[in-house]
Amino acid sequence: MARERSPALWLHPQTSATRKMPVCHRILLLLWLLHFSSVYSDITDGNVEHLKREHSLIKPYQGVGTSPSSQWDFRGSTLVTSQYVRLTPDERSKQGSIWNTVPCYLKDWEMHVQFKIHGSGKKNLHGDGFAIWYTKDRLHPGPVFGNQDHFVGLAVFVDTFRNDLQGMDRSFPYISAMVNNGSLPYDHRQDGRSTELGGCSVKVRNQDHDTYLAIRYSKGRLTIMIDVDDRNDWKECIDIGGVRLPTGYYFGASSATGDLSDNHDIISMKMYQLMVEHTSEEDNQDWTKIEPSVSLLKSPKDNIDDPTGNFRSTPLTGWKVFLLLLCALLGIVVCAVVGAVVFQKRQERNKRFY
């Protein structure tokens, strides 16, 4: 799902029309261009040259299998077809997963996941969801959406079933993220609320259109975006800084069903390398030795009573930054105009006395 990136027009030589513009108009044009640049750089444009095929799962899934040359391996109830990878069928008590066999040594990356959740269960009678992983270990089945508990790394959960009947402040399906160094359990009874970094409610089940999830990690910031409304538009779900993830971990996806079930399909997982400059100190650091951690403004346990499910207030988006800059510019212009009018009236008043 490629996203068009706005060209950096302000880097081009000025045309004659631009040179004739008033200064205030040039400033407004620059603000508009800065705004659109920030908006379109929120998510990678999906250029092929940044696509890392060794970490991508793409139709017709030729690199999937158990041979030594395979780049993806699977286990459990996972079914690989030419059109999708079904982690679990719409049957009870199933577990399935698929894992990249190649460790990822990218410091800055973005994973785009196209998925589909569908089944015959009626409202609230389906489950349980699936998870996208970036972890130290792979192919370890367990109770957390088909993967092991006390994992080491990052997990993004797409949870379709509510276990916590007291947590009625959020609707399901619900997307959340968790970073773990192996010391924390995932609490199913509270839908992982005590350890989540944030989340958002989404309508992704039994949709007739494509549904997407994007996970970006760059310079210690974790951002999760969704495109689930068939509008070809990314929306922010989670954005949090202070996240430390090492290199050399594995990407994967897993799912599980219990007494309730659904089909959990992965259509594609596309990994993009982000071109980001780092300081010499960061470049010289051994990123494989980093312990997964998050520097939070408050403890994860404080998030239990947070009705928004987020640790931080929403960051300034491109539109907010633009509006703030525009308001500041308008304020300056108004002050300049008022000052000019007052100065002119004083000059006229002074002339009357001579």
Any domain includes 159: yes
* Percent of the chain whose pLDDT exceeds 90: 62
- Whether residue 259 is predicted with pLDDT greater than 90 in this model: the reply is yes
Residue 22 lies in a domain: no
Angle (CA) 247 144 61, round 5° = 60
Residue 11 has pLDDT above 80, yes or no: no
Residue in the block written with tokens 């538009």: 233
pTM of the predicted model, to two decimals?
Answer: 0.73
pLDDT band, very low/low/confident/very high, at 265 (cuts 50, 70, 90): very high
Q: Name the residue range of residue 189's domain.
A: 54-294
Lowest mean pLDDT among 36-45, 153-162, 227-236: 36-45
Eight-class DSSP state of 117:
E
| Rounded-to-integer distance, Cα 179 and Cα 263, Å | 26
Total number of domains constituting the chain? 1
Q: Which residues pair with 118 in a beta bridge?
A: 263
Q: To the nearest whole number, what is the mean pLDDT of the chain? A: 82
Q: Is the pLDDT of residue 7 over 90?
A: no
Residue 154 burial (CB count, 10 A):
23
Q: What is the pLDDT of residues 138-187, one digit of tens each?
A: 999 999 999 999 999 999 999 999 988 876 778 999 999 999 999 999 99
Q: pLDDT confidence of 125, banded at 50, 70, 90?
A: confident
Burial of 204 (0-12, 13-18, 19+ CB in 10 A): buried
**Among 48-52, 141-145, 161-165, 240-244, where is mean pLDDT lowest?**
48-52
Beta bridge partners of 182: none
State the pLDDT confidence band at 338, using cuts at 50, 70 and 90: confident
Residue 14: pLDDT above 70? no
CA nearest to 187, candidates 309, 304, 307: 304
Q: Assess whether pLDDT exceeds 70 at residue 206.
A: yes
Q: What is the pLDDT of residue 58?
A: 96
User: Rounded to 5 degrees, what are φ and ψ at 198?
Assistant: 150, 175
Query: Does a structural domain hold residue 120?
Result: yes
Q: Is residue 301 part of a domain?
A: no
Can you tell me the distance from the alpha carbon of 293 to that of 98, in angstroms, rounded to the nearest whole number? Answer: 25
The average pLDDT across 319-338 equals: 75
Closest CA to 95 of 59, 142, 61, 132: 142
Average pLDDT over residues 274-290: 94
Sheet holding 174-181, edge to edge: 72-76, 95-100, 250-256, 129-135, 152-159, 174-181, 199-201
Mean pLDDT, range 95-110, rounded to an integer: 97
Residue 286 has pLDDT above 90, yes or no: yes
- The neighbour count for residue 180, using CB atoms within 10 Å, is 22
The per-residue pLDDT for 51 is: 95
The tokens of 78 are what? 């996972």
pLDDT at 317: 47
The whole-angstrom separation of Cα 57 and Cα 182 is 27
Predicted local distance difference test score (pLDDT) of residue 49: 57
Higher pLDDT, residue 216 or 68: 216
Cα angle 144-147-150, degrees, rounded to a multiple of 5: 70
User: Regarding predicted confidence, which is higher, 25 or 107?
Assistant: 107
Assign 353 a pLDDT band (cuts: 50, 70, 90): very low
On the question of pLDDT at 31 being above 70, the answer is no
Q: Is pLDDT of 199 > 60?
A: yes
CATH of the domain at 210: 2.60.120.200
Is the pLDDT at 42 greater than 80? The verdict is: no
In a domain, 133, yes or no: yes
Per-residue pLDDT at 46 exceeds 70: no
Residue 213 neighbours by CB under 8 Å, 6+ apart:
112, 113, 115, 132, 156, 158, 175, 224, 225, 226, 227
* Residue 75 located in a structural domain: yes
Residue 179 lies in a domain: yes
Q: Are 154 and 179 in contact (CB under 8 A)?
A: yes
Model pLDDT, residue 235: 96
Angle at 73 between CA 126 and CA 115, to 5 degrees: 35
d(CA 81, CA 86) in angstroms, rounded, equals 8
Residue 115 lies in a domain: yes
Cβ(223)–Cβ(243) under 8 Å? no
Is there a contact between 177 and 296 (Cβ–Cβ < 8 Å)? no
Q: What is the pLDDT of residue 352?
A: 47
For residues 90 and 328, the model is more confident at: 90
